[in-house]
Chain A
Amino acid sequence: MSEKLTEDQIRHVAKLARLNCTDQEIATFTTQLAAILDYFDQLRELDTTDVEPLAHCLPIHNIFRPDQILPSLSNEQALANAPRRDGEFFSVPKILDDSNA
């Protein structure tokens, strides 16, 4: 992590998050993110040899709900905040790449 963060890496991350950033913003974020990573480098200085890795910060586990159907929102309520809709659907710019994970 002590490697220098590059503007290209920031552009890549911005692209993955579908963010349009100006060159100025890219420069700013590169510095800001680098500062955050520096902070993690400081944390790394701690000796954690005998510390068990933590999967969650709460000391609890096995929180479940039973398989029961609860009321959903109405279609109107569900779409109430949508910037655009098409009948009962949310409407978004056409997606060309129809793959998902």
Chain B
Amino acid sequence: MDVKLIAGLEIHVQLATKSKLFCGCKVGFEDPPNSNVCPVCLGLPGVLPLMNKKAYEYAVRTALALNCQMARFTKWDRKSYYYPDLPKNYQISQYDLPLSHDGYMEIPLEDGTTKKVRIIRAHLEEDAGKNLHEGLDHSRIDLNRTGTPLLEIVTEPDLNSPVECRILAQELQKLVQFLGVSEANMQKGHMRFEPNINLQIIDDDGREYRTPICEVKNLNSFRALERAVAYEEWRQLEEWKHDHDFTLEKMGKQNRGWNDARNETIFQREKEEAHDYRYFPEPDLVPVELDDDWLEKIKAALCELPLAMKQRFIQDYELNDYDAGVLTADRATAEFFDGAVKAGGSAKRAANLVTQFGLKTAHERNCRVNELGVTVEQVAQLAQLVEEGAVSSSAAITIFEKMLTDESDPKAIAEKHNLIQQSDAGALEAIVDEVIAANLQAAEEVKSGGKKAKKARGFLMGQVMQKTKGQANPKIAGELLDGKLKE
């Protein structure tokens, strides 16, 4: 028997506009209920929606980054459904002429390869409000969220494991944050996932079965997404084993909900077909035409994308996969590190400085690396000091720490605090000679190479460090010492 998981994702990303999609109400997360509402987003009679230009441009920017074909002519449609959190009784969305279609996204897999996941479409629509009914005999409706701009991204069913689904979602989060089109804060519900999942089963007789496609609604964390897909993978196989009529042809599609506490999906309803939404063109909004000039302007706002940047760091800067991943986790860090290398710093040393001290300190201070008050030039110079052997790696961390409050260049800071290593071979040689002359017995022990040799060498190195007040470059001093004691 051969079982293959087939999954596609529908993702809603909240765009980072200040105001809503069709009215000037503030997009606010923690404001009191029903305080960011007006006649437009309340769906009162006689009002007209007016589209937020930034929301459209953010949507186009993201679609471009997803390698989509851009529609030069796009329009909006009404998707009818009756629900108290949607007071107009229709959602303004896009149906037959979405603003973009046919793109792809590359995702890094755990085995180090990348996978291309096709994007069917990305379109702009409005969010609904919130229902609260926990512990109540009625539902409370808060319409602050109605009319918030959402980008809906739909992938082809190219995902074949729960992990791939999670990776795509995480990469998309990184992408929209890089592009600056969404905060993509999971705690604030800025990203919601709806995976559609079924199995292709080929039994031992070579017969092929397809289990019913199930769409799991409204998952709002990466963990819930991965677990819901894993649960469906297990459940659908069990159901099919129990009854081989558990197939798409016989059962159709269905919607399921996710119960996080019980770690399982629950049947909700048979999936409504598109015509049940009775889509029709939105008469209150005129179409949008995207001409070359405008498209070029939006393209100019695109930046290097996180995966491309990571691969460049690995190839050009010879970083390992882990460090490259850490440095491209957010755009500010990636650009800060990249800036330090472009300002002349050794990539390896700059990466160490940023990952070992910069990120940790930024995390403690709840800011980004570029907000620590240290410039990319300072980091570049510091990285070079380490590279040239002028300061040790541990002294470099001390200097970085001092740079947080001291604007001097790192070399001046190193000198001020006696952190420069003695790398002058001539000066060190004299000290090494002195140490050997004063400790002839230890020198003999090293030369004879016996049991005591290692300990004796350590002792002599210690003497050299002591005489230089810890500032001898240990590599050079060690080489000098070894050279002398071989003679």
Q: Which residues of A are in contact with B by a Cβ distance under 8 Å?
A: 16-18, 55-58, 60-75, 78-79, 81, 84, 86-95, 97-101
List the 5 closest pairs (A to B, CB-CB), nearest first: A70-B24, A89-B140, A64-B53, A67-B54, A90-B141
Q: Is the CB of A62 within 8 A of B286?
A: yes
Please name all residues of chain A whose beta carbon is closer than 8 Å to the beta carbon of B136 when the two chains form the complex. 86, 94
Q: Is the CB of B34 within 8 A of A57?
A: no
Residue of B at shortest CB range from A84? B138
Query: Is the C-beta of B173 less than 8 angstroms from some C-beta in chain A?
Result: no
Please name all residues of chain B whose beta carbon is closer than 8 Å to the beta carbon of A97 when the two chains form the complex. 268-269
Residue of B at shortest CB range from A89? B140
Q: Is the CB of A16 within 8 A of B278?
A: yes
Interface centre among B80, B136, B287 (most CB of A within 10 A): B287
Other than A56-B281, A64-B52, A73-B38, give 17 A-B pairs with Cβ distance below 8 A: A55-B281, A65-B52, A67-B18, A75-B32, A81-B44, A87-B140, A88-B32, A90-B141, A90-B143, A91-B139, A95-B84, A98-B131, A100-B85, A100-B86, A100-B217, A100-B218, A101-B128
B272, chain A: closest CB distance, angstroms:
9
Residue of A at shortest CB range from B93? A101
Query: Is the C-beta of B36 less than 8 angstroms from some C-beta in chain A?
Result: yes
Please name all residues of chain A whose beta carbon is closer than 8 Å to the beta carbon of B35 when the two chains form the complex. 72, 74-75, 78, 88
A41, chain B: closest CB distance, angstroms:
18
Please name all residues of chain A whose beta carbon is closer than 8 Å to the beta carbon of B286 when the two chains form the complex. 56, 58, 60-63
A42, chain B: closest CB distance, angstroms:
20
Q: How many angstroms from the CA of A86 to the CA of B75 in the assembled complex?
A: 38
A96, chain B: closest CB distance, angstroms:
9
Interface residues in B378-399 by Cβ distance below 8 A to A read none
Please name all residues of chain B whose beta carbon is closer than 8 Å to the beta carbon of A98 when the two chains form the complex. 131, 257
Query: Is the C-beta of B82 less than 8 angstroms from some C-beta in chain A?
Result: yes
A9, chain B: closest CB distance, angstroms:
11
Q: Is the CB of A72 within 8 A of B37?
A: yes
Q: How many angstroms from the CA of A43 to the CA of B37 in the assembled complex?
A: 41
Query: Is the C-beta of B169 less than 8 angstroms from some C-beta in chain A?
Result: no
Q: Is the CB of A94 within 8 A of B82?
A: no
Query: Is the C-beta of B473 less than 8 angstroms from some C-beta in chain A?
Result: no
Q: List 11 A-B contacts (CB under 8 A).
A: A67-B55, A69-B25, A72-B24, A88-B33, A89-B132, A91-B141, A93-B139, A94-B133, A99-B218, A99-B255, A100-B85
Please name all residues of chain B whose beta carbon is closer than 8 Å to the beta carbon of A90 when the two chains form the complex. 34, 84, 140-143
Query: Is the C-beta of B208 less than 8 angstroms from some C-beta in chain A?
Result: no
Q: How many angstroms from the CA of A67 to the CA of B25 in the assembled complex?
A: 10
A72, chain B: closest CB distance, angstroms:
5
For B108-144 the 0/1 string (1 means CB < 8 A from A) is 0000000000000000000010011100111111110
Query: Is the C-beta of B91 less than 8 angstroms from some C-beta in chain A?
Result: yes
Q: How many angstroms from the CA of A74 to the CA of B37 in the assembled complex?
A: 8
Interface residues in B41-58 by Cβ distance below 8 A to A read 42, 44, 50-56
Query: Is the C-beta of B73 less than 8 angstroms from some C-beta in chain A?
Result: yes
Q: Is the CB of B84 within 8 A of A92?
A: yes
Q: Is the CB of A101 within 8 A of B140?
A: no
Tell me whether A91 and B26 are in contact in the complex, defined as CB-CB below 8 angstroms, given that A56-B75, A64-B51, A69-B18 are known contacts.
Answer: no
Tell me whether A72 and B26 are in contact in the complex, defined as CB-CB below 8 angstroms, given that A64-B50, A91-B138 are known contacts.
Answer: yes
Q: How many angstroms from the CA of A16 to the CA of B80 in the assembled complex?
A: 9
Out of A61, A70, A87, A94, name the residue touching B287 (CB < 8 Å).
A61
Q: How many angstroms from the CA of A14 to the CA of B287 in the assembled complex?
A: 30
Q: Is the CB of A99 within 8 A of B25?
A: no
Please name all residues of chain A whose beta carbon is closer than 8 Å to the beta carbon of B17 when the two chains form the complex. 67
Tell me whether A99 and B217 are in contact in the complex, defined as CB-CB below 8 angstroms, given that A73-B39, A94-B139 are known contacts.
Answer: yes
Q: How many angstroms from the CA of A3 to the CA of B295 in the assembled complex?
A: 45
Query: Is the C-beta of B289 less than 8 angstroms from some C-beta in chain A?
Result: yes
Query: Is the C-beta of B449 less than 8 angstroms from some C-beta in chain A?
Result: no
Q: How many angstroms from the CA of A79 to the CA of B56 in the assembled complex?
A: 31
For B299-333 the 0/1 string (1 means CB < 8 A from A) is 00000000000000000000000000000000000
Q: How many angstroms from the CA of A90 to the CA of B128 in the assembled complex?
A: 14
Query: Is the C-beta of B19 less than 8 angstroms from some C-beta in chain A?
Result: yes
Query: Is the C-beta of B83 less than 8 angstroms from some C-beta in chain A?
Result: yes
Tell me whether A56 and B287 are in contact in the complex, defined as CB-CB below 8 angstroms, given that A94-B136, A101-B91 are known contacts.
Answer: yes
Interface residues in B1-47 by Cβ distance below 8 A to A read 17-19, 23-26, 32-39, 42, 44
A62, chain B: closest CB distance, angstroms:
6
Q: Is the CB of B80 within 8 A of A67?
A: no
Please name all residues of chain A whose beta carbon is closer than 8 Å to the beta carbon of B437 when the two chains form the complex. none
Please name all residues of chain A whose beta carbon is closer than 8 Å to the beta carbon of B37 when the two chains form the complex. 72-73, 78
Tell me whether A72 and B257 are in contact in the complex, defined as CB-CB below 8 angstroms, given that A65-B51, A88-B32, A101-B91 are known contacts.
Answer: no
